[in-house]
Amino acid sequence: MKFNRGNLVYGNRIEQPSQELIKNTLGLHNASLEDALKYGGDLTRAAIGAMNLTFTKKYIVVDTKIHMLTPGMCPAIPGWHTDGVPRGNALDPTVKQAPNIHAQEEMDSPIFHLLVTGESCLTQFIKERNFDLRVPKEPSTLLYKTISHQMNEKIANKELTTFEAPSCTAVKWDWWEMHTGVPAKSHEWRFLIRVTETDIQQPKTDLRDIIRTQQQGYMPMEFGW
């Protein structure tokens, strides 16, 4: 199956926010655009303003994550992956069922917009376009493990070239774009926002579900303070 079928499109840039501003910004989970603008704070509003939203889909869903990072800590599950893969019989990307990436061939892709602050922990992408990877023939929970292993081999063999998305700059892509989170290189408060324009996933409406009170982080077992 071919990946990186389109091109990354860069939007506008915001000023690097202060660590204090990031620390005091609310996290949001599957918020509507209206609720994100209302409750997300100045940083979230500035980041959304830097994005070239198309308003061509039924729904706009906003997620923000704020992490206090320590060197070696990863704010996302590390591993190469794509976003928004259809899952289960309903082809709903939010359900915890096996991903069905083959269904994407017959569906319209959501539009993803990303902005990450700081310099310590920027999302990695791949420069090359239209490269092939083996994927399971049927929906399988092993999809991204299989993909990530192949990606790492191709990177090690210099068949693929990684790069970091620029800090504080909006980036837009579709669901064929391969990317990964990385471990932090230094101590830093980090803000990430992803805005998804989609015909499939509806935003949440209950503020108890929307406003994040915890942020997950991942780190190696031999972690020291």
Strand partners, 28: 64, 211
Does residue 222 lie within any of the structural domains?
no
pLDDT for 140-199, tens place per residue?
999 999 999 999 999 999 999 999 999 999 999 999 999 999 999 999 999 999 999 999
Alpha helices, DSSP H, located in 73-167:
143-156
Q: What residue numbers bound the domain in which 139 lies? A: 2-212
User: Which amino acid belongs to residue 100?
Assistant: N
pLDDT for 52-104, tens place per residue?
999 999 999 999 999 999 998 999 878 999 999 999 999 999 888 999 999 99
User: Which amino acid belongs to residue 56?
Assistant: T
pLDDT above 70 coverage of the chain, percent:
97
Does residue 25 lie within any of the structural domains?
yes
Does residue 154 lie within any of the structural domains?
yes
Q: How many domains does the chain have?
A: 1
Residue 178, domain CATH: 2.60.120
Does residue 148 lie within any of the structural domains?
yes
Please report how many Cα atoms fall inside a 13 Å half-sphere around the Cα of residue 67, on the Cβ side: 27
pLDDT for 189-223, tens place per residue?
999 999 999 999 999 999 999 999 888 888 765 54
Query: What is the pTM (predicted TM-score) of this model?
Result: 0.94
Q: Which pLDDT value is given to residue 222?
A: 53
